[in-house]
Amino acid sequence: MDTNRQGWFSGGEADCGPEAPLPSRPARLVLLGPPGVGKGTQAKLLCQSLRACHLSTGDLLRSAKCDGASSPAMKQALAAMQRGELISDELVIDMVRERTQCLSCLGGFLLDGFPRTVRQAKALEEILFELDVELDAALSFELPLEQIVSRLGGRRTCARCQAVYHMSSHPPLAADVCDLCQGPLVQRDDDRPESIRVRMQVYERETEPLVDYYRQHGKLRRVSAAGDPQEILRRTLKQLGERRRTAARSARTSYLQSP
């Protein structure tokens, strides 16, 4: 698929331009997972493997901040952010409704950052039903808390150019000094172990109802986020392959049993 995501950023009838070859079976996925599990890396790898488009509401809001809002709901969301307010479920749902052409695209999608609540999940279900599109799965990338603390707690950020390092997996050439600009490396407050534990508690409290919602609907696929990115990708694709084979068998059984 084309990677400029113009339709996602602009909404309405915006065209993403010339399309790459379409996948034979478009993947339609929701991505879940707390900070530190490598969800962003997996989103990129999955998009390359499945030829789907990464639809991130975080990217959408960051784009609006830099380039200005281009649709009614986005303008309201940007105004709310400028007032320091949280963006309501209604506004987020409206933002996605303005971009339904992305959800019905034959290239498929990976939704990242939406839904975040059960209310948003139900709204997504209604939108997809109207488009005659079915969600394949909600992928929940999971990692034990101590491993998340280790991953995030080892991060160091350059105070001058904002380059990011990791003390074990990507250390600087000289201790506490940025390779690029020789600025000092610091640990951000939200990367300190005590802050990470609080963030994880908040994430689990807010996300558990959403995870349970997709489990009850038979869409949840739990994926261990341990190991290197390619290993996690293989694990994820195996889960998706099993999901699709099960769905195909169910469809055949239903057809054969129909009068």
**165 and 55 within one domain:** no
Collapsed DSSP state (helix, strand, coil) of residue 219: coil
In this predicted model, what pLDDT tens digit does every residue of 168-186 receive, in sequence order?
888 999 999 999 999 999 9
Q: Give the integer Cα–Cα distance in Å for 16 and 9.
A: 10
Check residue 15 and give its pLDDT.
66
Angle between helices 193-216 and 145-153 (to 10 degrees): 130
Asked if the structure places residue 193 within a domain, the reply is no
The backbone torsions φ and ψ at residue 11, rounded to the nearest 5 degrees and listed phi first, read: 75, -170
- Mean pLDDT is highest, among 79-83, 198-202, 249-253, for 198-202
Partners of residue 186 on adjacent β-strands: 157
Instruction: Verify whether residue 122 is a known catalytic residue.
Output: no
**246 and 176 within one domain:** no
Burial of 257 (0-12, 13-18, 19+ CB in 10 A): exposed
Are the beta carbons of 57 and 117 closer than 8 angstroms? no
Which of 10-24, 48-62, 202-216 comes out lowest in average pLDDT? 10-24
Instruction: Verify whether residue 39 is a known catalytic residue.
Output: yes
Number of domains in the chain: 2
* Catalytic residue of the set 5, 99, 151, 155: 155
* Catalytic residue of the set 97, 192, 199, 243: 199
Residue 36's domain comprises 6-142+198-257
Asked if the structure places residue 233 within a domain, the reply is yes
* Catalytic residue of the set 5, 28, 39, 51: 39
* Catalytic residue of the set 116, 119, 235, 243: 116
Asked if the structure places residue 213 within a domain, the reply is yes
Which of 124-133, 158-167, 204-213, 245-254 comes out lowest in average pLDDT? 245-254
* Catalytic residue of the set 188, 222, 234, 238: 188
**116 and 220 within one domain:** yes
Asked if the structure places residue 1 within a domain, the reply is no
Instruction: Verify whether residue 5 is a known catalytic residue.
Output: no
Instruction: Verify whether residue 44 is a known catalytic residue.
Output: no
The backbone torsions φ and ψ at residue 14, rounded to the nearest 5 degrees and listed phi first, read: -60, 140
| Closest C-alpha to 20, from 42, 46, 52, 43 | 52
**107 and 19 within one domain:** yes
**183 and 222 within one domain:** no
